[in-house]
Amino acid sequence: MRLVKCHRRRNIRFQRKLTKNTLKRKLRRRFRRKLRRRLRRKLQEEIEEEIAEEIEEELVEEVPEQPSASMRDDHSNELLQREEFQTSEKSGGLQEGVEERAAKATLEEDLREKRDPAQQKEALKQEKKEKATLAKAQKKEQAKLGDEVELMKAQVADLKRSKKEYEHSNTKLQQKISKMTADFEEDKKLIKKLKNKLQESSSQHKKEIAKHEKVNFTAVKALKDQLIERQKESMERDIEVQSLLYDIETLQILIKGKDNTVSSLQEKIDQLALNLKEEQTKNCKLLEDYERDKVNCAEIKALKIQLSEQQKEILEKDNKIQSLRSNIHSLQSDIEARDSTVSSLQNKVMQLASDLKKEEAKNCKLQRDYEAERDKVNCDKIRALQDQLTEQQKECLEKDNKVQSLCSNIQSLQSNIRS
């Protein structure tokens, strides 16, 4: 419980310190803002006074008379009085700030009396620190104000110098004005002379214009007569143009009729051209068919040659088979002991012979089909026949291989029999 109470007291003290610090900061900020505002106002007043003085000086410049020495002295005295007044206002502002701080100090002392002695000690320490900081701030502000006063004095000195320069320039301007007035009077005299000369020249010009008007009147009459003649000629030409337009309209009507006839003829020509194109396409197709027939006839001839060659090969193979049969019959007497092997070989030879006969029958059928379909000439069927021929050639090759193998077997048997 004691620890909690101590902690609470510390928190309360800390909060009071924070409130004091915040109040002091706020007071310092307000004091600084007030000082800044006062300084700004003073600077604005000084600038306005300077502007007013410049305006007065400009007005004085407009007046040709020079200011007297007494006026200059009065103006310098006024400037010095204004500077003293400004410095007194600044010192009065500082006094007001000191009074405000004293009032704040009294309020803080009253608050301290009400607090505990320990808090009073801490508050006294903080107040001393704050007073030291305030004293430093006051010193800085006083130094700033001193610098500003010095700047103001330098500005016043510059104004005095500029015043002297202005007076010197004013004298020069007055001299220039006197010269300009003399030149202006001389210019007036010249202008009068020129006006007289202009009046004389204008009178002469009017006389010349009257002469030219008389000459122009006769020329205008001649031009009017020419215009009347031209108008008559233009009327005649308009009549001719109207007649030509009428002739053009009649010609346009005739041209339209001819255009219609031409368009009808063009339509007929287009139709005839289309018919010609169709006939040309038909002729092209017929030529292509004719060329295809030629190609197909050449292919058919080549196939016939291949078939004749294959038939010759088949006949040769038949002769070979017959010779082999004769050899087999001659060897049957010698191979009675080995009937089993020879009978198997004979069966194979018989099968081969039957296959050859079947192939011969197929070839005959193919020849008949080929002769029957010679007039139709279908490319797909010719390709199928070519495929069949290739297959048959493959089968013939296989059978040749078999025959060769049989021949080799027979030769081996013969050699065995002889041995």
pLDDT digits 0-9 by tens, 386-398:
666 667 666 667 7
- What average pLDDT does range 41-55 have in this prediction? 72
Of 138, 155, 175, the residue at which a domain comes to its end is 175
Question: Mapped to the 3 state alphabet, what secondary structure does the chain carry?
Answer: CHHHHHHHHHHHHHHHHHHHHHHHHHHHHHHHHHHHHHHHHHHHHHHHHHHHHHHHHHHHHHCCCCCCHHHHHHHHHHHHHHHHHHHHHHHHHHHHHHHHHHHHHHHHHHHHHHCCHHHHHHHHHHHHHHHHHHHHHHHHHHHHHHHHHHHHHHHHHHHHHHHHHHHHHHHHHHHHHHHHHHHHHHHHHHHHHHHHHHHHHHHHHHHHHHHHHHHHHHHHHHHHHHHHHHHHHHHHHHHHHHHHHHHHHHHHHHHHHHHHHHHHHHHHHHHHHHHHHHHHHHHHHHHHHHHHHHHHHHHHHHHHHHHHHHHHHHHHHHHHHHHHHHHHHHHHCCCCCCHHHHHHHHHHHHHHHHHHHHHHHHHHHHHHHHHHCCCCCCHHHHHHHHHHHHHHHHHHHHHHHHHHHHHHHHHHHHHHHHC
Query: Which pLDDT score is estimated for 280?
Result: 65
Confidence of residue 34 (pLDDT cuts 50, 70, 90): confident
Task: State which residues form the domain around 371.
Answer: 295-418
Q: Which pair of structure tokens corresponds to residue 14?
A: 């800390």
In a domain, 344, yes or no: yes
- 331/257: higher pLDDT: 257
In a domain, 116, yes or no: yes
Which one-letter amino acid corresponds to residue 247? D
Q: Does residue 312 share a domain with residue 167?
A: no
Confidence of residue 335 (pLDDT cuts 50, 70, 90): low
pLDDT digits 0-9 by tens, 167-187:
787 788 888 878 878 887 887
Query: Which pLDDT score is estimated for 192?
Result: 80
Of 136, 154, 175, the residue at which a domain comes to its end is 175
**pLDDT at residue 24 is higher than 80:** no
In a domain, 274, yes or no: no
Tell me the percentage of the chain whose pLDDT exceeds 90.
Answer: 0
In a domain, 345, yes or no: yes
Quote the number of domains for the chain.
2
pLDDT digits 0-9 by tens, 262-297:
666 667 667 766 766 776 677 677 667 666 766 666
- 228/71: higher pLDDT: 228
Query: Which pLDDT score is estimated for 64?
Result: 42
Query: Which pLDDT score is estimated for 389?
Result: 61
Going 190 to 192 to 198 to 203, the CA torsion angle's sign is: negative
pLDDT digits 0-9 by tens, 105-132:
666 666 655 555 566 677 677 777 877 8
Query: Which pLDDT score is estimated for 55?
Result: 66
In a domain, 132, yes or no: yes
**pLDDT at residue 357 is higher than 70:** no
Q: Does residue 171 share a domain with residue 317?
A: no
* Full-model pTM: 0.20
Which one-letter amino acid corresponds to residue 339? D
In a domain, 125, yes or no: yes
Q: Does residue 144 share a domain with residue 11?
A: yes
Lowest-pLDDT choice from 59-68, 131-140, 201-210, 262-271:
59-68
Q: Whole-angstrom Cα distance, residue 410 to residue 346?
A: 11
In a domain, 262, yes or no: no
CA 128 from centre of chain: 72
In a domain, 36, yes or no: yes
Of 110, 143, 175, the residue at which a domain comes to its end is 175
